[in-house]
Structures are given as C-alpha cells and as structure tokens.
Amino acid sequence: MQSPAQICNIALGRVGCQFFINSIDPPDVSQEARVCAMVYNYVLEKALQDFPWPFANKVVLLQDIGSPLAPWGYRYRYPGDCLTLKRVFPDGGVPVYGVASKTAGVPYRTVSDDTSDARSILCDYSQVYADYTARVTNPNLFPPAFVNLLAWGIAAEIATPLSADPKYAQSAAATYKNVLAEAGALSANENQQDPEGDCDLDAARNT
C-alpha cells in the first residue's frame, strides 16, 4: 500500500533531500512535511487534469436541478468531484450520420450559480450523462506510471524551498513533461473503440 508520504519521499529523494517524512500531516511538523503538504493536493489535481487517465475516468447521470437559463432547455448539477468535464451525452448516445455514436457529445455550457459556490451544466437534452476526470485521492488506486509522474511533479514544486541547487527544479519540471508523454501512451492502451460500432458508423458515412 502506498501513501502520500511515500510518494513525497520519492520526490524528496529526487531533489537531493537527506531527510524524509512519515506523514504530510501532523504530528510530522518537519520543514519537508510542511512543504510537501502545501503542494501535494495542487500537484495531484494538476497531474489528474494533464491527461484523461482511465483510472480517474467517471461517467454519472446528471441531476436535473431545474430553472434553466435561456436559451438552454435544461440545467444540471455539476459533479462535485469533477476536475475536467470531457463530454455530456444523452441516454442512448448521439446520432451521427444516422448511427448512435458512443463517443460523441452534445453542446453544453458550464456556469457558476449566483447564490452559492456550486456550478451548473446547461444543455438542451434530458437524461444526460457526464463523462469526466474525477478527483481521485486514494493513492492505492494510482497506477505506477501515475505515481512516477506525481512524484516528479511534487519534486518540481519542492525543489526551490528545500534544495540549494535551482537545477533540481528545472530538471524535475522537464522530466515531468517527458514522463507525462510516456505515461499517456501507456494509459491510452487501456481504451478501445467498439469495432462493430466503428464499422457501422463508417458504413453510414459512405452511404
């Protein structure tokens, strides 16, 4: 089992720190723990947003909260754990060239509510689903490639306050970008389009 502290310790080692932490929360009040705690959630959400990770992908039926804003027909509650909304689609898919596409979305708009900090999704379809990247905080769900990326991202943020050598921050930031490309390629293999659906869609386009 892995923990935020273990991931941060990987990052600490990558910027040349000699001291490691037991937790990013009290009772560990070392400088290393305080700096890691300051950046951990920010870097975690950034790493989740930087790629549509399969382990963080979520599809939910949106809750109709009424009072739509013109010219839209419906108003839905924005998922509380959503980091990146990728598409909105109605039940049964979206007709494309006469065939129901499983990957297409419909037009929508996100707005902030006037009376609260919540957000809403405006759409012209009833019974719609949201496909999005969720805020995943359980580190035991992180695949090794994501842990590696997250550790490099943390390293880039903690290098300046904890390391005397500024080159560590530059090196970690550059490595983060390289690892992101590699991890993205690996994660892309976890998705596969429906061959039958694709064939039907191609046939419909050619008619």
Indicate the pTM of the whole model: 0.86
- Walk along the chain (207 residues) and give the pLDDT tens digit of each residue: 789 999 999 999 999 998 999 999 999 999 999 999 999 999 999 999 999 999 999 999 999 999 999 999 999 999 999 999 999 999 888 887 778 887 889 999 999 987 677 899 999 999 999 999 999 999 999 999 999 999 999 999 999 999 868 789 999 999 999 999 887 677 666 665 554 444 444 443 443
* CB-count burial class (<10 Å; 0-12, 13-18, 19+) for 54: middle
Residue 152 contacts residue 104 (beta carbons within 8 Å): no
Query: What span, in angstroms and rounded, lies between the C-alpha atoms of 13 and 6?
Result: 11
Residue 176 contacts residue 157 (beta carbons within 8 Å): no
The DSSP element (H or E) to which 203 belongs, if any, is helix 195-205
* The pLDDT value given to residue 204: 39
Packing angle of the helix pair 31-49, 144-162 (nearest 10 deg): 130
For the chain, domain boundaries:
4-51+143-188, 56-135
Q: How far is CA 137 from the centre of its chain?
A: 11
The DSSP element (H or E) to which 86 belongs, if any, is strand 82-90
* The pLDDT value given to residue 205: 41
Which are the contacts of 200, defined by CB distance < 8 A and separation ≥ 6? 99
With vertex at residue 22, the alpha carbon angle to CA 16 and CA 25, rounded to the nearest 5 degrees, is 110
* The pLDDT value given to residue 203: 42
In order, the DSSP letters of 97-140 are TTEEESS----EEEEE-SSSS-EEEEES-SSEEEEEEE----GG
Which residue type occupies 185?
A
Residue 62 contacts residue 56 (beta carbons within 8 Å): no
* The pLDDT value given to residue 100: 81
